[in-house]
Amino acid sequence: MRQPHSLLSLLLTAGPIAQSSSGLSDSSLEKHVDIVTLGHSFNPVIAAYRTGYPHHRRTPFAVSPNRRTGYLAYLDASGTGVHVQPINPSTFAAMGDTVTVSAGKEAGGLVAHDDDAFAILTNEISPSSGSDIPIPVIYRFKNGRQVWKTFIGGPNLDSGGSSHASPDINGDLVFSEKYGHYAAYIVVTAYEGWASGHFGDAIRYLDTDGNIKEISGASSSWGCSHNTGIAFEAADAPPFASICAEDQGAIWLTTKGQGMATAGKKISNELTVNGGSNEPMGGMGGSYSALARFVGQDSYIFAWVSRGAVDLTPNDWMGTGYTKSQGRTENRNVAIALFSDKNTLVDEEATSEIGAADGDNQVTWVTEGSNDCSNAHAAAFNSSNALITWEEIQDPICDFEAMGCRGKFAGTFYQLVNSKGEKVGVPVKSTDSFVAGDMVTVSEGRVCWPYISMDWDLSGPASVSSVRKMSFACISTASGSTTPS
């Protein structure tokens, strides 16, 4: 129907756009299309759990603290073998030889060091584990040679006596420069012991020699039930900043308590059904670059997608402090939360009041439309500003409760937000760039990540042929961007 007052709405919408000059603009986005020729084939799509809908297959990317060396990791198209390609973090050109973890089955996280060393999180079949499910493992390489390898699953790790495997890692590896330790936060399933057949998560700390450190109040063998999304970022001391999405009805800041415990903070109430919670951190292929630490600060920002929460009912299984809810919207929108330090939510915790009509009043929404949003990520530009990015589907069809949707891809969006969580300007829209790997602050005001230049079709399950080219994209803010030469 034609609107009689279209001139008025035109005038009204012209206002904010004209005032948005302080935000990002099209020229903030820089693309290096097909800049890297890969030594091996890579399949850029992973089918999502339950729906089979296409997700980007994660390509971890990391840059050394001195910003001289970058590394890009990707899974071989055969499904076995994780390749790590050194990358010049200024030009994104390949530099040096590819290193391969030949048994690796997922490129699950990457850390770059100054001395031509890196560590990678993957999973592999380990005959000595007593299981034919892949076991999570961390490798460290220096000058192209393996220095050590440490399984962070398998037997004899959990004091409770269960043995863990990770069919999908769906987590992350981080390193604290100050504390000098790695930590990995991963999804696990128990194949022996009290939790056999169930899914949970584990947090494992390692020193730089590859020894697992059992740290009280930081290490964890079984945290969130059926973890459906992880966000993890280093801190200057353990415990590191951690977030989980569980299948009982919430997303938690788990830094304190390392699990879905009321010792932590309830970030949000979520619709959860059958081990699904709306793929808040990206679902399959996700769980990276969702939580970012502001540069040089103790504060963090977290981005996820949510259907919101209404009509809170008791969670009898979990008891006081836990609730079930219904989604507010059919589609998912982008939400953010801010933390003044690794334990402290800036806004209130999500309510646990039984009978509450609104369960999401505390949420800071970045989008509030009817397009379905997915693949949300956060990265810090500097001490006080961050980049939030996501993808949208227009007129989404959401066949599966608490899972992803399908429909026409409507673009990737890049939004500047400040440390109060306020949007600055309007988002930049791009239909030919995507976030498909870790977002790295390569210099103040400049965030870059890898992706595959391709037609991105979200209309249903897709099979895509393998590629041999990797692209990189960056968003730079006008001020404070020191483009490396």
Residues lying near ligand NAG in the complex (CB under 6 A): 381-385, 445, 477, 479-480
Output the smallest distance, CB 105 to ligand NAG, in A. Answer: 39
Pairing mode, strands 229-233 and 241-245 = antiparallel
- The token pair at 468 is 């041999």
Nearer to ligand NAG, 165 or 473 (CB): 473
Nearer to ligand NAG, 90 or 384 (CB): 384
Output the smallest distance, CB 336 to ligand NAG, in A. Answer: 16
Nearer to ligand NAG, 234 or 475 (CB): 475
Strand-pair partners of 119? 111, 140
Nearer to ligand NAG, 383 or 431 (CB): 383
Tally Cβ neighbours within 10 Å of residue 331: 23
- The token pair at 30 is 């820089």
- The token pair at 176 is 């604290």
Tally Cβ neighbours within 10 Å of residue 374: 26
Output the smallest distance, CB 382 to ligand NAG, in A. Answer: 4
Nearer to ligand NAG, 215 or 295 (CB): 295
- What is the per-residue DSSP string for 56-74? EPP--EEE-TTSS-EEEEE
Contact between 43 and 464 under an 8 Å Cβ cutoff? The reply is yes
Nearer to ligand NAG, 428 or 467 (CB): 428
Dist. CA 285–CA 47, nearest whole Å: 9
Integer Rg of the chain from CA: 21
Output the smallest distance, CB 380 to ligand NAG, in A. Answer: 9
Q: Which amino acid, one-letter code, is at 395?
A: D
Output the smallest distance, CB 299 to ligand NAG, in A. Answer: 13
- The token pair at 140 is 């460290």
Dist. CA 334–CA 336, nearest whole Å: 7
DSSP 276: B
User: CB neighbours of 192 closer than 8 A, spacing ≥ 6?
Assistant: 130, 131, 155, 161, 162, 163
Output the smallest distance, CB 275 to ligand NAG, in A. Answer: 39
Output the smallest distance, CB 475 to ligand NAG, in A. Answer: 10
Nearer to ligand NAG, 124 or 444 (CB): 444
Output the smallest distance, CB 24 to ligand NAG, in A. Answer: 9
Edge-to-edge strand ranges of the sheet holding 385-397: 372-380, 385-397, 406-418, 423-430
Output the smallest distance, CB 444 to ligand NAG, in A. Answer: 6
Tally Cβ neighbours within 10 Å of residue 102: 10
Dist. CA 395–CA 405, nearest whole Å: 10
Tally Cβ neighbours within 10 Å of residue 483: 12
Pairing mode, strands 372-380 and 344-345 = unpaired
Residues in the chain: 485
Taking CB atoms, the residue at the shortest distance from ligand NAG is 477
Dist. CA 291–CA 114, nearest whole Å: 23
Nearer to ligand NAG, 369 or 480 (CB): 480
Query: Which residue's structure tokens are 């994209």?
Result: 473
Output the smallest distance, CB 204 to ligand NAG, in A. Answer: 34
Nearer to ligand NAG, 346 or 424 (CB): 424
Nearer to ligand NAG, 281 or 475 (CB): 475
